[in-house]
Amino acid sequence: MRIAAPGGTAVVDEGRRLPGRGAWVHPTQQCAERAIRSLPRALRQRHLDTSPIARWADGLA
């Protein structure tokens, strides 16, 4: 699953069409939770809201 950060908020990019840098994670709860810590660096955004990814990961359980 691709994660992108348009506007400073990390979102799941299901269509793989959002502009900018993206990060790829396995579509599992464990992988998404681990990725949350490294997303700001991977997406090169110091202040990144990762709460949408956390909610998405909770829905995978």
15: domain range? 2-59
pLDDT given at position 15? 95
Split the chain (61 residues) into runs of 10 and give each run's mean pLDDT: 95 95 94 93 95 92 70
14 Cα distance to chain centroid: 11
When divided into structural domains, the chain yields a total of 1
User: Would you say how long the chain is, in residues?
Assistant: 61
Write the CB contacts of 61 (distance below 8 Å, at least 6 apart in sequence): 29
Identify whether the C-beta of residue 14 lies closer than 8 Å to the C-beta of residue 52.
no
Strands, E, within the chain: which ranges?
Answer: 2-4, 11-12, 22-24
pTM over 0.85: yes
pLDDT at 24: 96
